[in-house]
Amino acid sequence: MCGITGIFDTRARRSVDRDVLVRMNESQHHRGPDEVGVHLEPGIGLAHRRLSIIDLSTGQQPLYNEDGSVCIVYNGEVYNYQALIAELSGLGYRFRTRSDTEAIVHAWEAWGEDCVQHLRGMFAFALWDGNHETLFLARDRLGVKPLHYALLADGTLLFGSELKSLLAHGGLRRDMDHCAIEEYFALGYVAEPRTIFLDAKKLPPAHTLSIRRGQPLPAPREYWNVRFSCANTIGVDEACEELNQRLAAGA
């Protein structure tokens, strides 16, 4: 478990207050007690609390591509990262680490928004592409890793693993979503994309959100869904074998 958070000026390149960003990040200290990292440039700030699991010596975040134009903060684990490293190395990308984090960075460079189609695992990440002035948020297929976001009235976008990181900014209104309250008492949880606050949303599982500076906030894009069909004639033995193969592929 790690914690990610950040601030993005969707309209201009106003300075991000480092103290505010650090405060947001420290609100999630429990998610990543091992290391801390911050990236700041005009109009964008990314922060990370790390729980070290993969590539303990060189997997610090934020992590960058070779020229520093792409930056990522990431929570989770990509199970097929070694195969991705081999594939991306074959495409000419050079790796400075052996981390799944760098595999995502180069997957973005190779495939853009479709990079998530190549990832097998549990993850939530925020990737900043400075050349295109684009912030890309993504969440894994089953929503194992959380990601919240809010667009403030002045065009500032906040995001974080937990709602408390958005509240730590100080600019998020605390008006309650009454439908979310009803959902909580009826279901025992608040379903995506709602949160308990009207102005904050959860990025749904298997969705991405690509925000380019100077453009309106788009709707999240679904990149995967479970398709149910009664027309499948596969037998029990074949289904068990296919399940084993799929589980092995994700291990």
How many domains in the chain?
1
Distance CA(193)–CA(61), nearest Å, equals: 27
Distance CA(65)–CA(85), nearest Å, equals: 14
Dihedral of CA 96/97/98/103: which sign?
A: negative
Q: Count Cβ atoms below 10 Å from residue 154 Cβ, excluding itself.
A: 11
- Classify strands 121-129 and 134-139 as parallel, antiparallel or unpaired: antiparallel
pLDDT computed for residue 248 by the predictor: 77
Q: Count Cβ atoms below 10 Å from residue 143 Cβ, excluding itself.
A: 17
Q: Does residue 251 register a pLDDT over 60?
A: no
Predicted confidence (pLDDT) per residue in 14-67, tens digit: 999 999 999 999 999 999 988 999 999 999 999 999 887 665 656 689 999 999
Predicted confidence (pLDDT) per residue in 154-176, tens digit: 999 999 999 999 999 999 999 99
Residue 37's alpha-carbon distances to 9, 48, 118, in angstroms, are 20, 5, 26
Q: Does residue 95 register a pLDDT over 60?
A: yes
Average pLDDT over residues 98-108: 96
Please say whether the beta carbons of 156 and 211 come within 8 A: no
| Annotated catalytic residue 2 | yes
pLDDT computed for residue 52 by the predictor: 73
CA-based radius of gyration for the chain: 19
Predicted confidence (pLDDT) per residue in 206-250, tens digit: 999 999 999 999 999 999 998 877 777 788 899 899 889 877 775
pTM score:
0.93
Instruction: Out of 2, 71, 115, 230, pick the active-site residue.
Output: 2
52: containing domain: 3-250
Q: Assign residue 157 the CATH number of its domain.
A: 3.60.20.10
